[in-house]
Chain A
Amino acid sequence: MQNKAVISIKNLWAGYDSDTILEDVSFEMFQEDYVGLIGPNGGGKTTLIRVILGLVKPDRGTISVMGMEPYQGRKHIGYVPQFQVEDKQFPISVWDVVAMGRLRPSIFANFRMSSSDKQAIETALDQTGMLEFRNRTMNELSGGQRQRVYISRALVTEPKILLLDEPTSSVDSHSSTQLYDLLAKLNDHIAILLISHDLTAISTYVKTIGCVNRRLVYSGTKEITSDMLDIAYECPVDLVAHGLPHRVLPSHQEGHQHD
């Protein structure tokens, strides 16, 4: 297997307007990776995902997705947003939401859906156990069911990379176990980047852990060392308490920076 990064970020700075949110982030992810990202609220995890998706332009540094600019490479990304800022009353069915994952870019190219599109949508709904809800409207679903629909929508794009932003935050424990089993299976051929505040789940299922709080601490090793868990716990707890993110990190940063 060729060892080419699916996501490659070098010395990246990014933020909103004049607010810098991410500082000097370097990160490489490979096809077989399953990375769990943790960090305090407001630490910049979602921002990092938005940068990878080309929704936020970096101020400095470089980023490539599948060796391309994010806006091109993102066609290989299946994206599950953190929570949907949506019109709760918007009249759309589960089926139509998942069908969004099969949209072709060109405006008139979505006139008809092919039978392979329909097949893929059915499979993706089945994978998250939402097939029986296909004809429901979104506003008739619970929060956890909606999240499973968004996971189906990401899967139906047949991604090479899955970006999941807290996909289990309102999913019950049975369904989240099912989801993690599914992710483990998918990891055979899909690289996964998973954001979660659920440290138990993270430490059980992912292969490597990173911690984001303005800076990214990521060693990229395949085992979860106690040292890394230290950082993981310390980072959210300490940093929130002291509100001085980058004061605390550098000592870890030195030890874990990889090049």
Chain B
Amino acid sequence: MIEQLSTIFSYEFMRNALLASMWISLACGIVGTLVVLNRIVSLSGGIAHAAYGGVGLAYYLGQDPMLGALLFSTVSALVMGTAHRKSKTGADTLIGVMWSIGMAVGIIFISLTPGYKANLMSYLFGSILAVSSNDLKLMALIAFVVLAFVILSYRSLLAISYDETFSTVRNVQVNLIYLSMLVLIGLTVVVSMRMVGLILVIALLSIPPAVARVFLKDMRGIMLLSFILSAIFCALGLVISFLTNIQTGPVIILLASTAYLISLLVRQLLTAKRQ
């Protein structure tokens, strides 16, 4: 077993993949907790799909697709987030619209771009096994920024997530904090996209915190446990995918979903026991 593992991780691409998944788990565990507690999971889905438009445009213009994705995700995060704050229900439609525009724009620009398109698939389905050292650095940077931001502004973040009105009355910088949070969501979405793919990013953001909050009742604890869970799903997923030759992204998500189902059962048992 140990021997097998050391064989697996003797490959540099596997070591890179493992390291990358740790950084992503860190960012997603923290940001995902904010997303779940602020109930903006669908907004994150919108960001992820809008980012695809950026990928397409960047390809068409011959730029780095990561750059396009970053730009689109940040702008869409700010637009949808602002709408969400004005009216929690009214933003629903806008999120759906931006979601589909992103995909449409992405696909149109890609079909307009001549040449080999295999690389693009990696944005849809993930290419954790093809992580470059530059990607690694970027992921580490973003994970670090997310961590630092949350540590420094934890109380303010908790306050606006729980009771925005009271925070406003205390003159907490609600707008600044909220917008920073949205930008961090956008950044994290783009980074994770490289690994598990656009479609599955949402799962990695929402499932670990959903599992964690069954067991913990403290935002900090949920963030930490989400990170740990996510890291376990990713590491396990990498190994399984290596051994079975199945794509990494879907394996990770299946693992996470299984854990989610188990946690739902546990919650049922917990509430049943209380009665």
Beta-carbon contact of A105 and B218 below 8 Å: no
Which residues on the B side are within 8 Å of A86 (C-beta)?
Answer: 162-163
With A and B bound together, what is the CA distance between A31 and B87 in angstroms?
37
B113 at the interface (CB under 8 A from A): no
Beta-carbon contact of B158 and A96 below 8 Å: yes
Beta-carbon contact of B153 and A107 below 8 Å: yes
With A and B bound together, what is the CA distance between A81 and B168 in angstroms?
13
Residues of chain B from 150 to 194 with CB closer than 8 A to chain A in the complex: 151-156, 158-159, 161-163, 165-173, 176-177, 180
User: Contact partner of B218 among A75, A81, A91, CB < 8 A?
Assistant: A91
With A and B bound together, what is the CA distance between A157 and B171 in angstroms?
12
B49 at the interface (CB under 8 A from A): no
With A and B bound together, what is the CA distance between A97 and B173 in angstroms?
18
With A and B bound together, what is the CA distance between A164 and B223 in angstroms?
34
B222 at the interface (CB under 8 A from A): yes
**Interface of chain B: mostly helix, strand, loop or mixed:** helix
Which residues on the A side are within 8 Å of B177 (C-beta)?
Answer: 107
User: Contact partner of A107 among B37, B168, B173, CB < 8 A?
Assistant: B173
Beta-carbon contact of B152 and A100 below 8 Å: no
Interface string of A7-27 (1 = CB under 8 A from B): 000000000000000000000
Interface string of A89-129 (1 = CB under 8 A from B): 11111001101110101111011010000000000000000
User: Contact partner of A79 among B155, B166, B173, B222, CB < 8 A?
Assistant: B166
User: Contact partner of B169 among A79, A113, A137, CB < 8 A?
Assistant: A79
Known: A107-B156, A107-B176, A107-B177. A91 touches B170 (CB 8 A): no
Beta-carbon contact of B163 and A84 below 8 Å: yes
Which residues on the A side are within 8 Å of B166 (C-beta)?
Answer: 79, 81, 100, 153
User: How many residues of chain B are within 8 Å of chain A by beta carbon?
Assistant: 31
Beta-carbon contact of B172 and A91 below 8 Å: no
Known: A90-B37, A90-B162, A92-B162. A103 touches B167 (CB 8 A): yes
Residue of A nearest to B212 (CB): A91
Which residues on the A side are within 8 Å of B219 (C-beta)?
Answer: 91-92
Range of interface residues on chain A?
20 to 34
Which residues on the A side are within 8 Å of B180 (C-beta)?
Answer: 107
User: Contact partner of A105 among B37, B154, B161, B171, CB < 8 A?
Assistant: B171
Which residues on the B side are within 8 Å of A74 (C-beta)?
Answer: 169, 171
Residue of A nearest to B33 (CB): A91
Residues of chain A from 66 to 91 with CB closer than 8 A to chain B in the complex: 71, 74-75, 77, 79, 81, 84, 86-87, 89-91
Give, as a whole number of angstroms, the nearest-CB distance from B263 to chain A: 14
Known: A91-B219, A108-B153, A111-B152. A100 touches B159 (CB 8 A): yes
Q: What are 24 contact pairs spanning A and B, CB under 8 A?
A: A53-B169, A81-B166, A84-B163, A86-B163, A87-B162, A90-B161, A91-B222, A92-B158, A92-B217, A97-B162, A100-B159, A103-B159, A103-B167, A103-B170, A103-B172, A107-B153, A107-B156, A107-B176, A107-B177, A108-B153, A108-B156, A110-B153, A111-B152, A111-B155
Beta-carbon contact of A55 and B152 below 8 Å: no
Interface string of B24-49 (1 = CB under 8 A from A): 00000000000001010000000000
With A and B bound together, what is the CA distance between A110 and B152 in angstroms?
8
With A and B bound together, what is the CA distance between A42 and B114 in angstroms?
63
- Which B residues contact A (CB, under 8 angstroms)? 37, 39, 151-156, 158-159, 161-163, 165-173, 176-177, 180, 213, 216-219, 222
With A and B bound together, what is the CA distance between A99 and B121 in angstroms?
48
Beta-carbon contact of B165 and A55 below 8 Å: yes
Give, as a whole number of angstroms, the nearest-CB distance from A203 to chain B: 29
* Nearest 7 interchain pairs by C-beta: A110-B155, A91-B217, A105-B171, A137-B217, A108-B152, A100-B159, A107-B173
With A and B bound together, what is the CA distance between A110 and B160 in angstroms?
13
Which residues on the B side are within 8 Å of A100 (C-beta)?
Answer: 155, 159, 162-163, 166-167, 170
Which residues on the B side are within 8 Å of A55 (C-beta)?
Answer: 165, 168-169
User: Contact partner of B156 among A81, A92, A93, A110, CB < 8 A?
Assistant: A110
With A and B bound together, what is the CA distance between A40 and B154 in angstroms?
40
Residue of B nearest to A78 (CB): B169
Known: A91-B217, A108-B152. A157 touches B162 (CB 8 A): no
Which residues on the A side are within 8 Å of B213 (C-beta)?
Answer: 89, 91
Residues of chain A from 40 to 55 with CB closer than 8 A to chain B in the complex: 53-55
Give, as a whole number of angstroms, the nearest-CB distance from A247 to chain B: 34
With A and B bound together, what is the CA distance between A221 and B218 in angstroms?
48
Residue of B nearest to A79 (CB): B169
Known: A93-B218, A100-B166. 17 other contacts (CB 8 A): A53-B169, A54-B169, A74-B169, A77-B169, A81-B165, A89-B213, A91-B217, A91-B218, A92-B217, A99-B155, A101-B170, A103-B156, A107-B176, A110-B153, A111-B152, A137-B217, A153-B166
